[in-house]
Amino acid sequence: MERPVRRTRLVNASDFELASGPVESRLVTGLTKLGIALKHGERRTAVARGLSATQAQILVALSRRDGARCTPSELADELGVGAPTVSEALRPLFERGLIRRTAAADGRVRILRLTPNGRREAERVAGWPDFLLHALDALDAGEREALLRSVVKMIAALQQQGRIPVARMCPTCRYFRPNVHDDPERPHHCAFVDAPFGDRAIRLDCADHEPAA
């Protein structure tokens, strides 16, 4: 028996573009799909290591600080969760010997640091987003740099709206001097290391970050 042929209504280019909806809406749809992939990948990796997603985030966040001071409240702010959530997630990490607490110089706050076992565990769970690196191979160097600039702008906008915690990235750092050099490849300057750099070197999570006024 012959199958019926599916017929499609022909439309002109303007009608097709109009029916596709605003570019902004389609970008949000695409970003949502990427977010779902990231969330599922993070959860799978954490569960495989006997951790919750929040516990894995804590280990990675502390490892990125590279020994710099970090209190439970600062950790909660960075992860965008409440202090009780961090406190609950920390308890098993202490019990497993992955994190230790030390008193600050004034003795009033507790500083969180990774133990040697904690650093090794952080390295294991930190690689879960690597599957996205293969997707980025689909972009050429120029497209990757343009995407990085766009991501930085979006993060900055969301921070100004209070939608996400302040990221430790170059544009929010007091050491960042944008567009102060004539070199188009390296127009910016980092006053912390006293060196020029370009958009391709902009950091989104720098251990030396200090918030700008």
**Segments in the chain forming alpha helices (H):** 13-20, 23-48, 53-65, 72-79, 83-95, 116-126, 131-136, 141-160
Residues 27 and 123 in one domain: yes
How far is it, in rounded angstroms, from Cα 102 to Cα 112?
A: 7
From 77, 106, 129, give the residue that closes a domain.
Answer: 129
Best CA proximity match to 64, nearest among 118, 134, 107, 132? 118
Residues 152 and 116 in one domain: no
Residues 35 and 53 in one domain: yes
145 within a domain of the structure (yes/no): yes
pTM: 0.69
Domain that holds residue 188: 139-201
Question: What are the tens digits of pLDDT across the range 23-78?
Answer: 888 899 999 998 888 888 888 889 999 999 999 999 999 998 876 778 899 899 88
**Count of domains observed in the chain:** 2
Tens place of pLDDT per residue across the chain (213 aa): 445 545 555 556 677 777 777 888 889 999 999 888 888 888 888 999 999 999 999 999 999 887 677 889 989 988 888 999 999 999 999 999 999 988 777 666 788 999 999 999 999 998 877 788 888 899 998 999 999 999 999 988 888 888 887 778 898 899 999 999 999 999 999 999 999 999 889 998 887 888 887
Residues 32 and 55 in one domain: yes
